Amino acid sequence: MPPQPAPEASYLDAVDELSRANPAPAEDAGALDDVTFVRQARRKAFWRRPLVRATLGLAACALLVALTLQIAVQERDRIAVAQPALKPLLQQLCEPLKCTVGPPRQIEAVVIDGSTFSKLRGDAYRLSFTLRNQAATDIAMPAIELTLTDGQDQPVVRRVLSPADLGTPSATLAAGADWTGNFAMSVSGNGLGRVAGYRVLAFYP
Tens of pLDDT along the chain (205 residues) come to 555 555 544 544 554 555 555 555 555 555 555 566 666 777 777 677 788 788 888 888 888 888 877 887 777 777 877 778 888 888 888 888 888 888 888 899 999 998 998 888 877 889 999 999 999 888 999 999 999 888 888 888 899 999 999 888 888 899 899 999 999 888 766 556 677 889 999 999 8
User: What residue spans define the domains of the chain?
Assistant: 7-94, 107-203
DSSP class of 14: H
Q: Does domain 107-203 have CATH number 3.50.50.60?
A: no
Report helix, strand or coil for 86.
helix
| Cα torsion 198, 199, 204, 205: sign | negative
